[in-house]
Amino acid sequence: MTTPTRRQRGSTRRPLQRQLPPATLAALLAFTAPPLLAAPQPQPAASVTIAAGPLNQALNRFAEATGVTLSWTPDLVGGHRSQGVSRAASTDQALATLLEGTGLVAHRTDSGYVIVKAPQTSSANLAPITVSATGLVSGVAPVDGYVATASRSATKTDTPLVETPRSVSVVTRDQIEAHGARNIEDAVAYTSGVSVGNYGFDPRFDQIQVRGFATTTSGNFLDGLRQPYDSWLASPNTLPYALERIDVIKGPDSVIFGQVSPGGVVNRVSKRPSADADNEITLTAGNKNTRQAEFDVGGAFDASGDVRYRVVGMARDAESDVEQIPDDASFIAPSVAIRLDDDTTLTLLAQYQDRETGGSPGYYQEGDDLTDFWTGDEDFDKASQHQWQLGWEFEHRFNDALSFSQHTRYQVISAVNQYTDGYDNVGSVVERTASGIYEDTSSVVTDNRLTGEFTTGALEHTLSGGVDYSYLDYDVLYAYGDAPSIDRDDPDYHQHIPAPDTIVSDIDGRAERTGVYLIDQIALGRWRFSAGLRHDWAEDVTRDAVSGNDRQQDDAGSGQFGVLYAFDNGVSPYLSYATSFEPQSGTDASGNHHAPSKGSQWEAGVKYQPPGRSLLLTAAAYQIEQTNVLTTDPDNRNYSVATGEQRMRGLELEMVADLTDELSMTAAYTLNDPEITKDNDGNTGNTPVNVSQHLASLWLDYDIDHGPLRGVGLSAGARYIGSSWDDAENTHKNDGYTLVDAGIHYDLSGKLAGVRVGVDAHNLADNRYLVCEGGYCYRGAGRRVLGSVSYRW
């Protein structure tokens, strides 16, 4: 018996829910899907419960939960209601129950199921059916392959991506694995509109820029909840092996996420119990003395599958690009999903993570030259972070029209950052100072939401309203002191460095964020409309034993609307508008707090997802305007005022496809036209710092499933990052660069079925590019080659 390929295993590729004209339906009934873009075979229903309600909504929910491809015309299902289904014995019987009394039946084809009128001689009346199995829990179903069809991140509901009037990219689990992602940067690097590593090699943070704006901190979300950040160095971190997928929502979106940058949001979605998940264990070794072990196991506690579990873990011992700096990490993430009854689910999610790297991972800069010399000390220099979290996702459906969900997480972080700075040199001897930042944070984040599904005349509504809240408490001690000098020609990396004793800040602070929102998604035939409003309140209280106390309060409203037309051939043009705001710390010369920066975006685009094919093409043109940007006060140049403005215009093209069961690909191109439109420093009309005009990428993944090379998998990709300006004056430019990644693996068969061996290489050509900003330069990460052996069962 041979081992299934990656996309064959589980066979639960997400559905494409499109509405087709009668001519297309007839063609689908007569012919199978073309072999180049073959659709997956339908799978048996798995413990799916669908509440009664409008038929099209019931079919959407069923397709989303099971991975079955469904096609229908809007005039055929419009006006019908479904009695729902609870525990059906098979996909055929579940669909028959959903369609009971409507005069419609589900006709099975090689491309999925097509909803058609029942023949006059047939009877669609079936007795209620019950089945066991497990399906969707908390709205997150695994995606098989590269193409996801829906995302809760963008709308807080399971709206298909092709019916969502804004740009959203999903990096699936298969993509994360194919990229050999060691961090979130690796995982999202091939996504349109995204650039990573804008400050070179720095394993402390995931440096992610979306549409020209940094999302490293304000756009850091996990399972739809903000990961609060105290603006120092204790930034919450998530390792990609813990994730099922990563959703990149582009452009300002404060209605959904609250206070965020105008670039967008990167929402990490955790692995959780699933009936379709594989068990696996992986051992990895490679250059930079890397040794790593990973495991992912789960299953059901009971025969009915109502209680399921999953435990994911990893441990890594490695060096980094700077030999003296480690890149160690470990985590364990247990989770339990409980189906309390047919209408209620509870998922418990926990994680503990431990990371350690260098507090100063960069090289010493001498004048305009970045040397290859590190000024730190192996016994003193470190960035050590311990974090743990516990949360739950509770979802309950009251009836066929109303449901409630509550997602909550509690997180604790303890971080130590110690580093030395080289500030002067005489000959080969570099003088140094020592700094230490010691942080403890705790946070609670919750989102409570009611969702109603109802009709008003010809309009079908999905209305969501709720309140989200986050509370962050933090303690920060920042101190500096003297450190012994170091000789570049004969460095001693084990000198005694006393603990820094000059206290600069001793802070006890808290930050609260509260938002109230209402979002309505409306279907009218093939038209899709969405509109949302939100109001946020922010309060930051800082008690500093050195500089005194401060309290800052902000509030702002935000909105969004969008319109989309879903043609029956899978083409969906759209237009949308959205706003955002983000509080800013600091005061002007009069002692007034800076107003929040605000963002607004117009976006026009088109999506194409042909029926029955695992393919998504998107094109989007956008203009983002950011106001209240900090710029120098012309009357007192020691202070800033929030009167600056920036504009970002751009075009994004993206293709994600499972072209066959063997070949998948992603391709992306981004054209940015950024401009400083208002500034007090004489830079009006210039390009903002460190924003590339051109980004392009291509990734191919080929799993051979036939012939003598069956079991061999090859993958390769290239990314181009265009040139950018070093300074706002636009006098110094960073060169563009290209990075190449590649991988190969082999799935064994016979008695060794389930075993895979592979090699992944990042930055294959070892291109050590330079990125500078304001005269400070950073070198990109070098080549990484890792070999692995894994076993799946």
Of the two residues 39 and 378, the one the predictor is more confident about is: 378
Q: What are the DSSP E strand ranges found in 120-212?
A: 168-172, 194-196, 208-210
Q: Is residue 24 part of a domain?
A: yes
Element (H, E) at 152: helix 152-155
Q: Is the pLDDT of residue 642 over 90?
A: yes
d(CA 569, CA 20): 7
Handedness of CA 568, 572, 573, 574 (dihedral sign): positive
Q: What letter would DSSP give residue 590?
A: T
Nearest partner of 193 among 763, 619, 727, 736, judged by Cα: 619
| Residue-range definition of the domain harbouring residue 69 | 18-117
Q: Is the pLDDT of residue 574 over 80?
A: yes
Q: Is residue 759 part of a domain?
A: no
Q: Is residue 44 part of a domain?
A: yes
- Work out the average pLDDT over 579-585: 92
3-class secondary-structure state, position 776: strand
Contacts of 721 (CB under 8 A, 6+ apart): 195, 692, 695, 736, 737, 738, 739
- Is 506 exposed, middle or buried, given 0-12, 13-18 or 19+ CB atoms closer than 10 A? middle
d(CA 287, CA 309): 35
Whole-model pTM: value is: 0.84
The DSSP result for 15-75, as a single string, is: P--EE--HHHHHHHHHSPPPGGGPPPPP----S-EE-SEEHHHHHHHHHHHH---EEE-HH
Q: Is 155 left (phi over 0), alpha (psi -120 to 50) or beta?
A: alpha
- Quote the pLDDT of residue 97: 81
Confidence of residue 86 (pLDDT cuts 50, 70, 90): low
CA angle 481, 485, 490 (to 5 degrees): 150
The DSSP result for 629-647, as a single string, is: EEEE-TT-TTSEEEEEEEE
d(CA 453, CA 427): 74
Q: Is the pLDDT of residue 185 over 80?
A: yes
Q: Which residue has the tokens 């080659």?
A: 785
Q: Is residue 92 part of a domain?
A: yes
By DSSP bridging, strand 104-109 and strand 615-632 are: unpaired
Handedness of CA 42, 43, 44, 49 (dihedral sign): negative
Confidence of residue 111 (pLDDT cuts 50, 70, 90): low
Nearest partner of 384 among 343, 330, 311, 314, judged by Cα: 330
Under 8 Å between Cβ of 105 and 98: no
Q: End-to-end alpha-carbon separation of the chain, Å? A: 14
- Quote the pLDDT of residue 158: 83
Q: What letter would DSSP give residue 725?
A: E
- Quote the pLDDT of residue 759: 97
Q: Is residue 56 part of a domain?
A: yes
- Quote the pLDDT of residue 101: 74
- Quote the pLDDT of residue 305: 85
Q: Is residue 30 part of a domain?
A: yes
- Quote the pLDDT of residue 689: 94
CATH number at residue 109: 3.55.50.30
Distance of CA 395 to the CA centre of its chain: 22
The residue type at 355: R
HEC string of 87-137 equals: CCCCHHHHHHHHCCCCCEEEEEECCEEEEEECCCCCCCCCCCCCCCCCCCE
Nearest partner of 171 among 204, 203, 208, 214, judged by Cα: 208
Q: What are the DSSP E strand ranges found in 525-596?
A: 527-544, 548-565, 571-582
Confidence of residue 30 (pLDDT cuts 50, 70, 90): very low
- Phi and psi at residue 88, in whole multiples of 5°? -95, 155
Handedness of CA 625, 630, 634, 635 (dihedral sign): positive
Q: What is the pLDDT of residues 493-505, one digit of tens each?
A: 999 999 999 999 9
Q: Is residue 91 part of a domain?
A: yes
Q: How many domains does the chain have?
A: 1
Confidence of residue 140 (pLDDT cuts 50, 70, 90): low
d(CA 468, CA 226): 10
Q: Is the pLDDT of residue 10 over 60?
A: no
Q: Worst-scoring range by mean pLDDT, 72-81, 394-403, 546-555, 668-677?
A: 72-81
Return mean pLDDT, the chain.
87
Q: Is residue 33 part of a domain?
A: yes
What are the CB-based long-range contacts (under 8 Å, 24+) for 305-308?
Answer: 305/47, 305/132, 305/133, 305/134, 305/275, 305/339, 306/134, 306/338, 306/339, 307/336, 307/337, 307/338, 307/339, 308/134, 308/137, 308/273, 308/274, 308/275, 308/336, 308/337
